[in-house]
Amino acid sequence: MIINCIAVDDEPLALGLVCSFIEQTPFLNLIGRYSSAVEALKAIHTQKVDVVFLDIQMPDLNGIELARVLDNSKVNKPRIIFTTAYNQFALEGYRVDALDYLLKPFNYEEFLHAANKALAYVELLEKSNATPVAAHAAIIEERIENEYLFLKVEYQLVRIALNDILYIEGLKDYVKVWLKSNEKPILSLTSLKSLEEKLPSKKFMRVHRSFIVSLDKINSITRNAMQIGKINITVGDQYKEAFSKFLSKWV
């Protein structure tokens, strides 16, 4: 399967890099490269474009504005993969139906990961005759369940890989996210309940009013507690039934 795509970036070096990545990816077909969103919009209306690799900070019409225009379009509606140096636009990027969000500088491996999401989206459309909205919803659900989430940390959104999370500790209006890759936790202004609703239940479990644990990071288990790394976490009374069901899979 071949995916028609264009690249849009007002920085020549960045545009050249994205185009080179596209050209070395077998299932991507580069049909245009543009230094402004206005030029890209004209091309989208006259060609069949499946995916747009789109910068955000551009003069005249920025990437978010172009995505909003395309989101309201009833024809020739390609999917967007943002390529930007500013992670504060991540939340807005997903609001405008973006497939992915590549933070500069990114390498080919990261680019290919995003391109594969585009391929999965197009294949889902063809195989199941799904609507674009349904297909995109499936991709979003898969991404959240298998990869990462965004957390507000101070004045920015930080992307957290789900497989890097050891456990999450609730502290009133804040949470501490303890990671495998960092000795110090990430502190975020959100509630444990809110995170519990976002995290995939196959990978995470609320075991205490103050703790959510990553199930595949558990080192050992007793009837009412578990060990993750150096910490021992007790199971709260209201979570014992669910934990017992999980424990039954171990014995």
**Residue range 8-48, pLDDT digits in tens:** 999 999 999 999 999 999 999 999 999 999 999 999 989 99
Rounded CA separation 156/89 (Å): 9
pLDDT band at 7 (very low <50, low <70, confident <90, very high): very high
Go through the domains of the chain in sequence order and give each one's CATH number: 3-146 (3.40.50.2300), 151-247 (2.40.50.1020)
Calculate mean pLDDT across residues 216-241. 89
Query: Would you tell me the crossing angle of helices 108-128 and 12-23 to the nearest 10 degrees?
Result: 60
The predicted structure's pLDDT at residue 108: 92
**Residue range 138-168, pLDDT digits in tens:** 554 445 445 777 777 776 667 788 889 999 9
Rounded CA separation 155/165 (Å): 21
Rounded CA separation 96/80 (Å): 9
Question: pTM to 2 decimals?
Answer: 0.55
